[in-house]
C-alpha cells in the first residue's frame, strides 16, 4: 500500500479561503513498516496525527466553499508543519514515546522523506493558493487535552499567529465573545516556527492567515466535527470582513 503525500478536496471551489490540515493522517508507508515500529495504540494517539482535525477541516471547507489540502502521511514520517531545517522535522521522541523507525534515520533518509512527502504537500498548497491574489489560508489542527506528566490544558480553542495577526485578532475577539469558550492566543503552542507551514505558505507571500487549534476531546465524533466547522465558518468570514 502506498501513502500519498497529499489529498485535495473541493478543488473546483473558488472562494477566497483555502483550508489546510497538516496533521490529518496517521498513515505510514509500507517501506517504513506501516507503523514506524510503534504499537497500533500509539499510532491512534495525538503523537501520530491531530485527532478530529481532518473531519473538522472538511466541514469548515464545505461551509466556506473553499478547497481543502491535507497531508496523506503521519507527522511521524516527517512533520509538514516544521521547516526543512527544524530539528523536530523528523521526531525520534514525542510525548515520552520513542519512535523506533526514526531512531537511526540519517541525512539521506531525511532528504528522501522531504522529497517524497513534505515538498509535494507544500507544492500542492502553493498551487492552489496561487490561483487568487487575495487568498486566505486557514490551517486546522487539534491538541491533546493533556500531555503526559503535565497539567490539563484549559483552552477549548487556540488561535496561533506570527507577526501578521490581521485575521487572527478579530477572530480571537469573536471567539472570546462566545459564551463558555476558553480561548488562547498562541496557546497551547507558539504561533511561529521559522519555516513552518504558515511561514512558508502565507507569511512569505503576505497572505492573510490564521491557525486554529481545537482541543481534540471536543471534536472526537463526526457530529462534533461538523458542528465546529459550521460554527467557525461565519466567525472567519466576519473576521475577514474586518481586515478589508
Per-residue pLDDT tens over the stretch 143-197: 999 887 789 999 999 999 999 999 999 999 999 999 999 999 999 999 899 999 9
pLDDT in tens, 47-96: 999 999 999 999 999 999 999 999 999 999 999 999 999 999 999 988 88
* Interior/surface letters 216-229, b for 16+ CB within 10 angstroms, e for the rest: bebbeeeebbbebb
3-class SS shares of the chain: helix, strand, coil, % to 5: 35, 15, 50
pLDDT of residue 95: 83
pLDDT of residue 96: 81
pLDDT of residue 127: 97
Half-sphere exposure of 63 (CA within 13 A, CB side): 20
pLDDT in tens, 1-58: 468 999 999 999 989 999 999 999 999 999 898 999 998 888 998 999 999 999 999 9
Retrieve residue 189's grid coordinates.
503552542
The three-class DSSP label of residue 130 is coil
pLDDT in tens, 95-152: 888 999 999 999 999 999 999 999 999 999 999 999 999 999 999 999 999 887 789 9
Q: Provide the mean pLDDT of the chain.
A: 95
Element spanning 236, H or E: helix 222-243
The CA distance from 183 to 175, in Å, is 7
The better pLDDT of the pair 2, 206 is held by 206
pLDDT of residue 128: 97
* Pair 79, 91: CB distance under 8 Å: yes
Amino acid at each position: 500500500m502506498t501513502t500519498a503525500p497529499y489529498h485535495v478536496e473541493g478543488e473546483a471551489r473558488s472562494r477566497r479561503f483555502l483550508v489546510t490540515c497538516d496533521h490529518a493522517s496517521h498513515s505510514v508507508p509500507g517501506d517504513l513498516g506501516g507503523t514506524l515500529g510503534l504499537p497500533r495504540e500509539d499510532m491512534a494517539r495525538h503523537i501520530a496525527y491531530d485527532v478530529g482535525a481532518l473531519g473538522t477541516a472538511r466541514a469548515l471547507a464545505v461551509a466556506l466553499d473553499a478547497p481543502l489540502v491535507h497531508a496523506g502521511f503521519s507527522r511521524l514520517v516527517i512533520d509538514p508543519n516544521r521547516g526543512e531545517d527544524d530539528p523536530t522535522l523528523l521526531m525520534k521522541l514525542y510525548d515520552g514515546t520513542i519512535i523506533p523507525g526514526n531512531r537511526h534515520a540519517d541525512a539521506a533518509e531525511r532528504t528522501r522523506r522531504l522529497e517524497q512527502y513534505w515538498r509535494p504537500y507544500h507544492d500542492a498548497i502553493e498551487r492552489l493558493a496561487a490561483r487568487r491574489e487575495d487568498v486566505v489560508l486557514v490551517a486546522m489542527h487539534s491538541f491533546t487535552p493533556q500531555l503526559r506528566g503535565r497539567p490539563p490544558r484549559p483552552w477549548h480553542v487556540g488561535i496561533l499567529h506570527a507577526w501578521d495577526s490581521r485575521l487572527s485578532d478579530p477572530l480571537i475577539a469573536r471567539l472570546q465573545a462566545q459564551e463558555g469558550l476558553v480561548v488562547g492566543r498562541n496557546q497551547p503552542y507558539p504561533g511561529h516556527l521559522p519555516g513552518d507551514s504558515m511561514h512558508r505558505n502565507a507569511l512569505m507571500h503576505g497572505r492573510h492567515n490564521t491557525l486554529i487549534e481545537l482541543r481534540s476531546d471536543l471534536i472526537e465524533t463526526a457530529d462534533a466535527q461538523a458542528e465546529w466547522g459550521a460554527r467557525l465558518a461565519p466567525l472567519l468570514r466576519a473576521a475577514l470582513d474586518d481586515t478589508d
